[in-house]
Copies of this chain bind each other. A is one copy, B any other.
Amino acid sequence: MTIHMEVDMSINPLNAIMNPKTIAMVGASNNFTTMGTIQLLNLLHSGFPGEVLPVHTQEKEVLGRKAYREIAELPYVPDLAVLVVPTRLVAGMLEDFGRLGTRHAVIISAGFKETGSGGDVLEKDLVDIADRYSIRFLGPNCLGIINTHLPLNITVGPVRDLNGCLGIVSQSGTYVGQVVNYLHVNGIVPSKAISVGNEANMDITDCLEYLGEDEATKAIGLYIEGIRDASRFLDAARKITPHKPIVAQYVGGTEAGARSVSSHTGAMAGPDHVYDGLFEQAGIIRVDTIEDVYKMGWALATQPPLKGPNIAVLTNSGGPGSGIASTCNRYGLSVPEFSEKVQEDIGAYLPGHASAKNPVDLTFHIDMSALADKIPQILFDADGIDGIIIHGIMGTGFLDMLYPTLKDHIPLSRDEILQMFDVSLDRLTHMPAIHGKPLFISSFMNEKDNFIKAFRKDRIPVFDCPETTAKAMGALYRHLLIRLARHDEPGPTGKAPQEASTILNNVGSGVVDEYNAKRLLSLYGIPVTREELAHGLEDCLDAADRIGFPVAMKICSVHVAHKTEQGMVCLDIEDKNQLECAYRSLREKDSDSNILISEMLAGEREFMAGISTYPGFPPCVMFGVGGIFTEAFHDISIRLSPIGRCDAQSMLDSISASRLIEAYRNMPPVDRDCLEDILISLGRLSLHFPQIKEIDLNPIITVQGRPKVADALIILEDL
């Protein structure tokens, strides 16, 4: 349904949509309980520097502005049309704007594809009209846009903070329009926020491309219910993530999540682990909550990138110090003991029984100068420290808790007390930029505290839970690893070998038998067991002689998908007698099919590789532990075809049992290149033949470290 035109980034239509000079708003009135009116209200009060033209059939004035009865009556062609009108009116009005010459629109109205089949047709109409008039639009069923740099706000929430740096794209309007107070309270300021709705004309990938180029946007947060064209999304994202971090939440990967998103925006959800693979491949940091989209996004948007894993933890309390240190370790960060020099320098500010090692625990004190100024200066200066976390700085928050009880006992006013312990945070809040090291603050005080206010003003993130602070540093560390990861372009997919086409055309649909499956794999350079097809006992004996005992014998039939479970596989056949025995046993179960005689591999370790397919996704390459453990552990990594060398390497490293690939106990290391080649070839094969629904190579047995495919199943789409 998505229309995608090959466009130069510099003319991404979102540049126009997010920066209009003139806006026509249809659907706002003087009834403040309707959404359109609230949106116009926010637009008028957002500080938008351009012109706003309300259109209303009855009212002469809307919210104090002259209203026009019809679109055709507008005094000039507005840059952007915003429609918040009943579903049935949308198409006609979009056409009116098209006729007038407006080329960009935001369609808030709902009632389209998300409602089912009737809405589908109505939505198709919008797309057709837009195509006819070269209109690019967001929506329908979206909640508007925010640009804190113009500024511009056409959501239901009034935006108070300007010139933010976190770009937000959401498939739920709530996460653009209803969170403005939440974001304000948490000190988070979006650069641009875009609600994409049903994505009939412009989708989440268009927005990603736009924010990737947008200079005001330093990090991007995505709320995702389902991606329609995963390949395009991947291409866009992997261009951005090496220099600009992306965090994303995906909610469609569970049964209830998938059902919910389908009735919400009609999104097509996919299994969770496929999105894991997509995010991994794209260098996107996955988070599990919308809170983390904002909070981790804000951490990434505001702070200098982390350059190494070593974190200094400075607190006035051992509990938060331990929680932060422990959580840093969980996220792969180190909390190293400081050098003796640093310990000595810090020691000057510590009470006798406090530790200067890291974490530093100053213990409780009302005077904040050591915690908020002197020790941080030492830590920012210190070599071998890459990031700093501080817990416990508090000012008026603590005083205001205490002052009501204190004031009866002392002759000082609140401000006089404040004066006594005044510390300027100016040095601290500028240290991250000066030293190129990130700083995060943990505090149980809220935004009323003067110090918290000061941190927020200078965009040093403050979190109300010590472990969340460490998690934010973990997000920066994750992005460091993404930046450092090697990337390569997948090689050209090329053309399928003629013989491969012949094999698959002969099969047509359904199951490809093991013999043909392995012939096909061989054509792509994938190592398979030596084997021959035979029918009679004599043929089998001859074949076994050529291959060499011990051999395996299997019924080779398209009708038997789970041969082992049905007793149609005989392994470890050592000699002619055993072969005869095995032959009779197999023939009792199936007298007609051919028998496959294969070399028997004395294997050490078993892996699996394969292809699986999902709507909206290109064929996906899988890799994991093989044999009976595949199902038991579900330890599988997945990437989207085509995959390059670096993707394949990352797949090997991504399974939890990846140490099985290295030299392990008394086994030699597995030939990584060969395993990677198998995965890269599977990717090419799957793109050559879109009729392939599933490939399952399991087990791939390693002999002296060399992997060889011992069993192969290929299933084609039913015709």
CA of A326 to CA of B660 in the docked complex: distance in angstroms?
Answer: 33
A341 within 8 A of B: no
Q: Which residues on B sit within 8 Å (CB–CB) of A330?
A: 254, 288
A143, chain B: closest CB distance, angstroms: 8
> Per-residue 0/1 for A227-255: is the Cβ within 8 Å of any B Cβ (1 yes, 0 no)?
00000000000000000000001011111
12 contacts between A and B (CB under 8 A): A38-B402, A45-B405, A115-B352, A178-B317, A255-B329, A257-B322, A257-B329, A263-B318, A264-B322, A264-B355, A265-B318, A565-B666
A361/B323 in contact, CB under 8 A: no
A185 within 8 A of B: yes
**Of all chain B residues, which has the CB nearest A87?**
B353
CA of A45 to CA of B261 in the docked complex: distance in angstroms?
Answer: 52
* Contact A405-B288, Cβ < 8 Å, known A326-B253, A335-B256, A631-B659: no
* Contact A180-B260, Cβ < 8 Å, known A329-B255, A628-B665, A665-B564: no
Contacting residue for A180 out of B353, B401, B409, B446, CB 8 A: B401
> Per-residue 0/1 for A53-74: is the Cβ within 8 Å of any B Cβ (1 yes, 0 no)?
0000000000110000000000
B405/A158 in contact, CB under 8 A: yes
A597, chain B: closest CB distance, angstroms: 22
Q: Which residues on B sit within 8 Å (CB–CB) of A30?
A: 409-410
How many chain copies? 2
B288/A319 in contact, CB under 8 A: no
Interface stretch, picked from A465-473, A476-484, A586-594, A686-694, is A465-473
Q: Which residues on B sit within 8 Å (CB–CB) of A45?
A: 405
Interface stretch, picked from A126-134, A166-174, A536-544, A609-617, is A166-174
Q: Which residues on B sit within 8 Å (CB–CB) of A490?
A: none
A260/B32 in contact, CB under 8 A: no
Q: Which residues on B sit within 8 Å (CB–CB) of A41?
A: 402, 405-406, 409
A464, chain B: closest CB distance, angstroms: 6
Contacting residue for A468 out of B260, B289, B326, B352, CB 8 A: B289
A674 within 8 A of B: no
A326, chain B: closest CB distance, angstroms: 3
A560 within 8 A of B: no
CA of A263 to CA of B313 in the docked complex: distance in angstroms?
Answer: 14
Contacting residue for A291 out of B114, B119, B178, B467, CB 8 A: B467
Of A319, A397, A444, A635, chain B has the most CB atoms within 10 Å of the CB of: A319
**Of all chain B residues, which has the CB nearest A178?**
B444
Q: Which residues on B sit within 8 Å (CB–CB) of A291?
A: 464-465, 467-468
B172/A326 in contact, CB under 8 A: no
A256/B334 in contact, CB under 8 A: yes
**Of all chain B residues, which has the CB nearest A289?**
B467
The bracket for how many chain A residues form the interface is 35 or more
Interface residues of A in 290-343 (CB under 8 A from B): 290-291, 313, 317-323, 325-330, 334-335, 337
Interface residues of A (CB under 8 A from B): 30, 32-33, 35, 38, 41-42, 44-45, 63-64, 87, 110-111, 114-115, 119, 143, 156-158, 170-175, 178-182, 185, 223, 225, 249, 251-257, 259-261, 263-265, 288-291, 313, 317-323, 325-330, 334-335, 337, 352-353, 355, 357, 359, 361, 363-364, 366-367, 392, 397-398, 401-402, 404-406, 408-410, 444-446, 464-468, 564-565, 567, 605, 625, 628-629, 631-633, 635, 656-657, 659-660, 664-666
B181/A288 in contact, CB under 8 A: no
**Of all chain B residues, which has the CB nearest A631?**
B659
Contacting residue for A660 out of B355, B466, B628, CB 8 A: B628
**Of all chain B residues, which has the CB nearest A318?**
B264
**Of all chain B residues, which has the CB nearest A363?**
B110
Q: Which residues on B sit within 8 Å (CB–CB) of A225?
A: 318-319, 322
Q: Which residues on B sit within 8 Å (CB–CB) of A405?
A: 41-42, 44-45, 158
CA of A445 to CA of B665 in the docked complex: distance in angstroms?
Answer: 57
A103, chain B: closest CB distance, angstroms: 28
Nearest 3 CB-CB pairs, A to B? A172-B319, A257-B326, A264-B318
A353/B114 in contact, CB under 8 A: yes
Q: Which residues on B sit within 8 Å (CB–CB) of A313?
A: 260
Contacting residue for A156 out of B64, B259, B265, B364, CB 8 A: B364
A353/B115 in contact, CB under 8 A: yes
Q: Which residues on B sit within 8 Å (CB–CB) of A263?
A: 318, 355, 357, 361
